[in-house]
Structure 1
Amino acid sequence: MAEERDSGVFRGTEGHMAEIVERNIQALLKRRKTEEHNRTVSERISDGVTKFTGSMLFVGLHLLLFGIWVVWNLGWLGLPPFDESFVVLAMFASVEAIFLSTFVLISQNRMNIQADKRADLDLQVSLLAEHEITRLVTLVTAIAKKLDIAEAHDPEIDELARDVQPEKVMDTMEHQQARMEKDKR
């Protein structure tokens, strides 16, 4: 059993990756890199802020700064307090929360758009695969009938040989969901 590494992909009798899979991975990585490169300045800023604020460094800095603020204004350091009622601290934290939540929402909106694109691609690939499988069922059934194989006359095969209409599937799913929600009440 010869095992080798060919262009970074494990190839051998077990674990062989089809070249089409490798090509698809490369295409998806290239697409992600292009999308990353094409981000606007505001998207880059919001992603950077979101990345930093989601880090332990951010938490540590806040613990340090707020801790010093509180200790200072409680008079424990022997320094004159500048915010005895902590109103300024509360205002600072509130304004910071407003801006941080806005940056997070901007990043989430962009990620939702990307997720929608991936879901659309997944749906298109699934519909194409379903269509191809339907055609294969039709072809194999015709061959089986020509060879007079009994299973070729199974009534379920005729149903499998029909193309799925996604809009009817969606309508059925929505109808079933509405019925389940109605039954819950």
Structure 2
Amino acid sequence: MSSTSAVSGKPRHPAYVAVAEKRAADVQLKVADGITRFAGSMMFVYVHVVIFAVWMLVFEKSPWPTLTLVVSLEAIFLSTFVMIGQNRQASFQQAKADHDFTANEQELHTNTELTQQIHVLTQELHRQLCKPATPQG
């Protein structure tokens, strides 16, 4: 498993790579990610401004009841995509936390072993350097 992003080539956290690969393998999640990405862009705002302006000015004499219905339905679906995005972020954060915990535990174990070895070597060095003087006779 590579720890770099296919898009940017920048190094990525291994947990991010694992979650991204899992999400990329699921078509439904890829569609949800695409919709969420578009819905969170300024292009989404511009498209809606144009569509609603044309609708209200050209096609409907009294657009408010239908517009209210459409906007309410869209808000329901968009809030679902927001929650999907939050779930994705939570999944990544949990995977990262798990990975970091494991790495930190390994680091702690290594540091403890090194500290113990340094202690043993220091005691041995102290014993060698501080030998009691033998009486000269």
Kindly indicate whether the alpha-carbon contact (under 8 Å) linking 1:46 and 1:103 is maintained by their aligned counterparts in 2. yes
CA distance, structure 1, for counterparts of residue 17 and residue 60 of structure 2? 58
Residues 71, 52 of structure 1: alpha-carbon distance in 2 compared, 3 angstrom cutoff:
same
**What is the deviation of 1:118?**
1.1
**What is the deviation of 1:36?**
4.3
State the structure with bigger RCO (CA 8 A, min sep 6), 1 or 2: 2
Q: Deviations over 1:43-96 (max 9, x none)?
A: 111111101111111110111112223334xxxxxx77143xx12111111110
The structure richer in helix per residue is: 2
What residue number does 2:114 align with?
136
What one-letter code is carried by the residue in structure 2 that aligns with 1:81? K
What does 1:1-185 align with in structure 2 at a 5 Å threshold?
Answer: 25=11, 28=14, 31=18, 34-38=21-25, 40-72=26-58, 81-83=61-63, 86-148=64-126
What one-letter code is carried by the residue in structure 2 that aligns with 1:144? T
Residues 99, 66 of structure 1: alpha-carbon distance in 2 compared, 3 angstrom cutoff:
same
**What is the deviation of 1:141?**
1.0
CA distance, structure 2, for counterparts of residue 80 and residue 47 of structure 1? 33
Identify unmatched segments of 5+ residues in structure 2. Answer: 1-10, 128-137
Dislocated runs of 4+, deviation >6 Å: none
CA distance, structure 1, for counterparts of residue 76 and residue 83 of structure 2? 11
Kindly indicate whether the alpha-carbon contact (under 8 Å) linking 1:43 and 1:107 is maintained by their aligned counterparts in 2. no
Identify unmatched segments of 5+ residues in structure 1. Answer: 1-24, 73-78, 150-185
What one-letter code is carried by the residue in structure 2 that aligns with 1:63? V
Q: Deviations over 1:154-180 (max 9, x none)?
A: xxxxxxxxxxxxxxxxxxxxxxxxxxx
Kindly indicate whether the alpha-carbon contact (under 8 Å) linking 1:50 and 1:104 is maintained by their aligned counterparts in 2. yes
Task: State the number of aligned residues.
Answer: 116
TM-score scaled to structure 1, two decimals? 0.55
What one-letter code is carried by the residue in structure 1 that aligns with 2:124? K
